[in-house]
Amino acid sequence: MKKLMCISFWLMGCLLPALSHGAEPDAAEAAIQAGHSDSETIPKLVQQLTEKSLTKAIPVLEALAREGGETMLPLFRTMLNGDLYYVKATGRVVGQQEVDGETSYKDLLTAEPVTGLGKRDTKKIRVNNKLRGFLRDSISRIQLSSEDPAKRGAAVRSLLSDLDDSTVLAISEARENETDADVMATMDLALAMYALAEGNSDVEKMDAIEQLSGSLEQDVRNLLRQYAEMEPDHSDYNAKASAAASKALSKIQEKVEFYGFVDQLFFGLSLGSVLLLAAIGLAITFGVMGVINMAHGEMIMLGAYTTYIIQMLLPNHIDLSIWIAIPAAFIVSGLVGVAIERGVIRHLHGRPLETLLATFGISLFLQQLVRTVISPQNVPVSTPSWMSGTLDINPVLSLTLNRLYILAFALLVFFALLIILKKTNLGLNVRAVSQNRAMARAMGVRSDRVDALTFGLGSGIAGIAGVALSQLTNVGPNLGQSYIIDSFMVVVFGGVGNLWGTLVAAFSLGIANKFLEPVTGAVLASILVLVFIILFIQKRPKGLFPQKGRAAE
């Protein structure tokens, strides 16, 4: 990669003079070619970004990095994020910012705000993959001297994959003044890698291998593997180094396998949390009330659409939108649920199979409603910035943040629901009505009201699930359909009317699925899980945790 880039610079260098149509070579051109500069160079170079086509921007940036050093960071970052614009009339390069819905511009070199510009006055400076890769590398190099140790560490790590003489020189210079122990360790790693790859003496290499043997870095493993698998006729071959490398490698491999297992477990838990969220509302409407709610998926869908609408209304508070969407979705889906209960299900008491037909009709109706009112197309829902990214535990184990949040959220919803059912008056009434309606009524429980509230609660929780799912998958009219069968499986497998059963079922199905998947492939894994549930239900017709006592009848 590095080499390629050098070659392309060289090519560009050759081509550029030819392309400048004989214009007088100014200071900027000179800077690109020879590296000499004056105070005018940087603005002129920046100016060139607006003129050159994408493929020719790299030499300009190269020169900028050399000339400007750290002062170029805001420009590079803005460009990397695709927020670099130029004013159509004057050609002035500006960075675009969006704060509270207001688009503002500022000059990146002087940090002065530029006012009086509308969206139509500016044109975007486009970037492509090559440019992004280059910008990211340059930023890393510049950041070696950053204030923040975390940034320095990340910079060194990102440089591990292409260590060349100049990079290593920069790293070893930075090493001198480094104070942070972690960053120092990473820098040592980089130097050891370089020593192993380029070192001359055996001792040097053996030392390097020794130093590398504890690391989980992918680049380290690749380098060691190179040594371990080296053929004896290779010019660099060294029997001792090779043996040491393969030993180090197998030690690392053990660790990697362990973390791989942890990773898979996390995937399983994460899938389980999605299943739990999807099923938990159904555990109420189906499990407690006995209504086969085929419109449950559509309640999830409504929750997801609520998130979309909230984000539409508050386009500049994406980070906040989720917190508003959660209660909003609960209310929207809950109200629709109450309406369904009052309008339809109330009339079908004691006829669970008929609730299936009616709610299936409602589900078709709601889907078509969304298609007609909003759009048959999927709609975009953005992920708040605090939910994107990963929690890096070590180089081979990083947990995605959104999944972590959703896992925590699912558990939170579960326990909140449990408390509602076990500790509140409403919960008491719900349990009373579901166990013995006639008796509960005789004791003065207003069963009609309780039914409506229970159904509303179940639907509302489905709506909350929709908010979470909108962060993972498509938001479209068919969203609910893809979760309805899984939800039923979870509830039935766990045992109808038992929330703990739903929890255990969701997580065990999620984990089983994820551990089967690498062996059998995704499709076969889901088929096997389904077949397992079918057979399991034959063995224990009431699920994992059957209801005991009178409620069972």
Partner 1 sequence: MKFNKLFAGVTLALGTSMVTFTATAEDTIKVGVLHSLSGTMAISETTLKDTVLMMVEEQNKAGGLLGKKLEPVVVDPASNWPLFAEKTRELLTEKDVDVIFGCWTSVSRKSVLPVIEELNGLMFYPVQYEGEESSKNVFYTGAAPNQQAIPAVDYLMNDLDVERWVLAGTDYVYPRTTNKILEAYLKSKGVDAKDIMVNYTPFGHSDWQSIVSDIKKFGSKGKKTAVVSTINGDANVPFYKELGNQGISAEDIPVVAFSVGEEELSGIDTKPLVGHLAAWNYFQSVDTAENEQFIDTWKTFIKNEDRVTNDPMEATYIGFKMWAQAVEKAGTTDVDAVEKAMIGQEVKNLTGGVAVMNKNHHLSKPVLIGEIQDDGQFEVVWETDGVVAGDAWSDFLPGSKDLIADWTAPTECGNYNVKTKSCGGSMATAE
Partner 2 sequence: MSSLISSIFANRGQPGGRVMPFVMILLVATVLASCLNLFTPEGSALHVSTYTITLLGKYLCYAMLALAVDVIWGYCGILSLGHGAFFALGGYAMGMYLMRQIGDRGVYGNPILPDFMVFLDWQELPWFWLGMDQFWFAMIMVILVPGILAYVFGFLAFRSRVTGVYLSIMTQALTYALMLAFFRNEMGFGGNNGLTDFKDILGFDLQSDTTRIVLFLITAALLSVALVTSHWIMNSRMGKVILAVRDSESRARFIGYKTETYKVWLFVYSAVIAAVAGALYVPQVGIINPGEFSPINSIEVVIWVAVGGRGTLIGAVVGALLVNYAKTRFTAILPEGWLFMLGALFVLVTLYLPKGLMGLYGQLKDKFSGPSGPSSANDRKTSDTAEGASA
Residue numbers at the binding site for partner 1 (CB under 8 A): 1, 4, 54, 82, 126, 128-129, 132-133, 136, 218-219, 222, 226, 263-264, 267, 270-271, 274, 368, 371, 376-383, 388-390, 398, 400-403, 471-476, 478, 482, 513-514, 517-518, 521-523, 526
For partner 2, the closer of residues 187 and 294 by Cβ is: 294
Q: Which of 298, 272, 270, 273 is nearest to 285 (CA)?
A: 298
35 Cβ neighbours under 8 A, 6+ residues apart: 63, 66
Told to check if 537 binds partner 2 by CB under 8 A, we report yes
**Which of partner 2, partner 1, none lies near 474, with the C-beta cut-off 5 to 8 A by kind?**
partner 1
Q: What is 408-469 written as a DSSP string?
A: HHHHHHHHHHHHHHHHSHHHHHHHHHHH-HHHHHHTT--HHHHHHHHHHHHHHHHHHHHHHH
512 Cβ neighbours under 8 A, 6+ residues apart: 268, 529, 532
Told to check if 347 binds partner 2 by CB under 8 A, we report yes
Told to check if 354 binds partner 2 by CB under 8 A, we report yes
Q: Which residue from 363, 459, 498, 513 is in contact with partner 2, where contact means CB under 8 A?
A: 363
* Binding residues among 370-409 for partner 2 as defined by CB under 8 A: 371-372
Distance CA 78, CA 385 (A): 17
**Which of partner 2, partner 1, none lies near 119, with the C-beta cut-off 5 to 8 A by kind?**
none
**Which of partner 1, partner 2, none lies near 401, with the C-beta cut-off 5 to 8 A by kind?**
partner 1
For partner 1, the closer of residues 260 and 546 by Cβ is: 260
**Which of partner 2, partner 1, none lies near 2, with the C-beta cut-off 5 to 8 A by kind?**
none
Q: Which residue from 195, 496, 499, 506 is in contact with partner 2, where contact means CB under 8 A?
A: 496
For partner 2, the closer of residues 412 and 439 by Cβ is: 439
Told to check if 350 binds partner 2 by CB under 8 A, we report yes
Nearest approach in angstroms of CB 251 to partner 1 is 19
268: alpha, beta or left, given left = phi > 0 and alpha = psi -120 to 50?
alpha
Number of residues that bind partner 2 (CB under 8 A): 48
Interface segment toward partner 2; rule CB under 8 A; list 34-42, 125-133, 388-396, 525-533: 525-533
Q: Which of 207, 359, 333, 300 is nearest to 486 (CA)?
A: 300
Q: Helix (H, G, I), strand (E, B), or coil: what is residue 379?
A: strand
285 Cβ neighbours under 8 A, 6+ residues apart: 291, 293, 296, 337, 454, 455, 458, 459
Distance CA 161, CA 26 (A): 36
Nearest approach in angstroms of CB 33 to partner 1 is 25
521 Cβ neighbours under 8 A, 6+ residues apart: none
Interface segment toward partner 2; rule CB under 8 A; list 19-27, 216-224, 342-350, 446-454: 342-350
Nearest approach in angstroms of CB 479 to partner 2 is 15
**Which of partner 2, partner 1, none lies near 535, with the C-beta cut-off 5 to 8 A by kind?**
partner 2
For partner 2, the closer of residues 412 and 522 by Cβ is: 522
Nearest approach in angstroms of CB 368 to partner 1 is 8
Hey, what amino acid is at 386? Answer: W
**Token pair listed for 427:** 């919960």
Q: Which of 455, 524, 529 is nearest to 493 (CA)?
A: 529
553 Cβ neighbours under 8 A, 6+ residues apart: none
**Which of partner 2, partner 1, none lies near 353, with the C-beta cut-off 5 to 8 A by kind?**
partner 2
Nearest approach in angstroms of CB 434 to partner 2 is 12
CB-neighbour burial class of residue 47 (10 A; exposed 0-12, middle 13-18, buried 19+): middle
CB-neighbour burial class of residue 61 (10 A; exposed 0-12, middle 13-18, buried 19+): buried
Backbone angles phi, psi at 98, to 5 degrees: -120, 115
**Which of partner 1, partner 2, none lies near 534, with the C-beta cut-off 5 to 8 A by kind?**
partner 2
Q: Which residue from 46, 131, 533, 547 is in contact with partner 2, where contact means CB under 8 A?
A: 533
**Which of partner 1, partner 2, none lies near 533, with the C-beta cut-off 5 to 8 A by kind?**
partner 2
Q: What is the largest CA-CA distance in the chain?
A: 99
Told to check if 535 binds partner 2 by CB under 8 A, we report yes
**Which of partner 1, partner 2, none lies near 377, with the C-beta cut-off 5 to 8 A by kind?**
partner 1
* Binding residues among 289-308 for partner 2 as defined by CB under 8 A: 290, 292, 294
Backbone angles phi, psi at 223, to 5 degrees: -65, -45
For partner 1, the closer of residues 91 and 518 by Cβ is: 518
**Which of partner 2, partner 1, none lies near 169, with the C-beta cut-off 5 to 8 A by kind?**
none
For partner 2, the closer of residues 225 and 542 by Cβ is: 542
**Which of partner 1, partner 2, none lies near 350, with the C-beta cut-off 5 to 8 A by kind?**
partner 2
* Number of helices followed by number of strands (H, E) in the chain: 22, 7
β-sheet bridge partners, residue 105: 96, 114
CB of 494 closer than 8 Å to CB of 543: yes
Interface segment toward partner 2; rule CB under 8 A; list 11-19, 68-76, 188-196, 284-292: 284-292
CB of 63 closer than 8 Å to CB of 31: yes
Interface segment toward partner 2; rule CB under 8 A; list 18-26, 141-149, 157-165, 346-354: 346-354
CB of 159 closer than 8 Å to CB of 174: no
* Binding residues among 443-482 for partner 2 as defined by CB under 8 A: 481
Nearest approach in angstroms of CB 218 to partner 1 is 4
Told to check if 364 binds partner 2 by CB under 8 A, we report yes
CB of 506 closer than 8 Å to CB of 413: no
Half-sphere exposure of 131 (CA within 13 A, CB side): 23
- Please report, as ranges, the residues that interact with partner 2 according to CB under 8 A: 286, 290, 292, 294, 344, 347-348, 350-358, 360-369, 371-372, 481, 485, 488-489, 492, 496, 523-524, 526-527, 530-531, 533-535, 537-539, 541-542
